[in-house]
Structure 1
Amino acid sequence: MHYDHIISGTFLKRPNRFIAIVLVGGQEEEAHVKNTGRCRELLIPGARVYLQQHNDPKRKTKYSLIGVSKGNLMINMDSQAPNKAVGEWLKRGGIFPYIEEIRAEKKYGNSRFDFFVRGGELMAGTREAFVEVKGVTLEEDGTAWFPDAPTERGVKHIEELIHCVEEGYDAYIIFVIQMKGVHCFRPNDRTHRAFGDTLRKAADSGVHILALDCLVTKDTMEIDEKIPVIL
Structure 2
Amino acid sequence: MAKGLSEKFDDAFSTKIWYCFEERVLQLITYPNVHIAHFIDRPNRFIAECRLKETGEMVTVHVKNTGRCKELFYSDVEVALSYQPSPKRKTDYDLIAVKKGEEWFNIDSQVPNALAAQALLNGTIRLPGLKGKITSVKREKRFAQSQFDILIETDTGNQAFVEVKGMTLENRKIGAFPDAPTLRGLKHVTELIEALQVGFQSYVLFVVQFEKVEATTIHTTMQPALAEMILSGQKQGLSVIAYNCSVTPDTIAIEHQVPFDVTKTFEDPNSER
Common topology (TM > 0.5): yes
Match of 1:70 in 2: 100
**What is residue 42 of structure 2 aligned with on the other side?**
14
Cross-structure match for 1:30: 60
**190-199 or 217-226: bigger deviation:** 217-226
From 226, 231, 235, the equivalent of 1:195 is 226
Whole-Å Cα distance in 2 between the matches of residues 152 and 208 of structure 1?
20
Distance 1:214 1:127 in 2: 29
Q: Is the 8 A contact 2:203 2:238 kept in 1?
A: yes
Q: How does 1:56-205 map to 2 (within 5 A)?
A: 56-93=86-123, 94=125, 95=127, 98-119=133-154, 125-205=156-236
Displacement of 1:99: 2.6
For 1:224, the equivalent position in structure 2 comes to: 255
- Pairs aligned (count): 227
1:199-230: CA deviations, max 9, x gaps? Answer: 11111110110011011111121111111111
More moved, 39-48 vs 91-100:
91-100
TM-score by length of 1: 0.95
- CA drift at 1:72: 2.0
Give the counterpart of 1:48 among 70, 73, 78: 78
TM-score relative to the length of structure 2: 0.81
Partner of 2:25: none
Work out the CA distance in 1 between the residues paired with 2:141 and 2:86.
Answer: 31
- Listed one character per residue, the Cα deviations across residues 21-48 of structure 1 (whole Å, up to 9, x for unaligned) are 0001201110000000000000111110
Aligned-partner residue type, residue 182 of structure 2: T
Spell out, residue by residue over 1:37-88, the C-alpha distance to the aligned partner (whole angstroms, 9 max, x if none): 0000001111100001012122110100000100022100000010011011
- Correspondence for 1:210: 241
Question: Cα deviation per residue 1:136-163 (whole Å; 9 max; x = unaligned)?
Answer: 0000011001011111111110010001
> 2:261 & 2:186 partners in 1: Cα distance?
18
SS in 2 for 1:55: coil
Unpaired segments of 5 or more residues in structure 1? none
SS of alignment partner, residue 41 of structure 1: coil
CA distance in 2, matches of 1:180, 1:59: 31
**Residue 16 of structure 1 aligns to which amino acid in structure 2?**
N
How far has the Cα of 1:127 moved from its partner? 2.2
Cα shift at 1:177:
0.5
Report how far residue 168 of structure 1 moved: 1.1
Q: Which runs of 4+ in 1 moved over 4 A?
A: none
Moved more, 2-11 or 32-41: 2-11
Aligned-pair Cα RMSD in Å: 1.2
